[in-house]
Structure formats: structure tokens, C-alpha cells
Amino acid sequence: MRVTRHRRVFEVTVRGEMDYDECDLLGAAWDEADDCGLPATVVDLTGLTFGDSQLLRSLLDAHQRHQADGRAFVLLGPLQAGVDRLLTISGTREHFTVTDSREAALRTTDG
């Protein structure tokens, strides 16, 4: 996992597998995003090959935190099949803004 701060966007890049053991890293990233207070967070999931219910819970928590603060929270894909399935089967995909290009993600966060 990698965290990058841009002028108006906090970016979290997640690669490989994310399960119970790694979800503390995401929690720390959400705390850092909150501390930065940038208008938007983009979560790059293009390289994430596996995520479990802990990932889902962490994403929902971050989304809720951003929404409460009036900040944008965007998932950047295209999502790998397993991650897309997790969001679809859980019925949570529609809760997120998901885009398949970095340019579209950054446009979504403008404003």
C-alpha cells in the first residue's frame, strides 16, 4: 500500500491482497486522509487482486467519514474480478463512486 498527497487529492494505492491482517494499514491511511483534510481521496484498486469483508468494512467506514466531512471518496479501477464481485454481491457497489480512469477520478473530485 502507498499513500500520496497531491495538491487537492489524497491517493491511496492498494496492491496484491488485502485481508484482516493488512486492514490496519487502511485504517491508518483513512486517519491520515482525515488529518490532511484534502477535498478528495482516490483509492487506486487497479492492482488489488483479493479483498475480504474487512476490506469492505474499511472502505465503507472511509466512505462514511468522507461523506460526513463533505469530502469526495472515489474508487479507481478497473476493479479486478474478485474485488468487483465483493462489492456487487454485498450490495455495496452503488454506495461508491467507481471510475475506470485516473482522469475521470480526478474530474469527479473537482469542485
How many domains does one find in the chain?
1
Residue ranges making up the domain that contains 96: 2-108
Q: How confident is the model at residue 94 (pLDDT cuts 50, 70, 90)?
A: very high
The predicted pLDDT at position 108 comes to: 67
The predicted pLDDT at position 40 comes to: 94
Q: How confident is the model at residue 110 (pLDDT cuts 50, 70, 90)?
A: low
Residue 15 is inside which H or E element, if any? strand 9-18
With pLDDT > 70 as the criterion, what percentage of the chain qualifies?
96
Q: Is the pLDDT of residue 109 over 70?
A: no
Residue 3 is inside which H or E element, if any? strand 2-5
pTM: 0.92
User: What is the tens place of the pLDDT at every residue in 38-65?
Assistant: 999 999 999 999 999 999 999 999 999 9
The predicted pLDDT at position 66 comes to: 96
Q: What is the CATH number of the domain that holds 26?
A: 3.30.750.24
Whether a cis peptide bond, with omega within 30° of 0, leads into 39 is: no
The sign of the torsion formed by the CA atoms of 47, 68, 6, 30 equals negative
Look at 1-5, 22-26, 51-55 and tell me which has the smallest mean pLDDT: 22-26
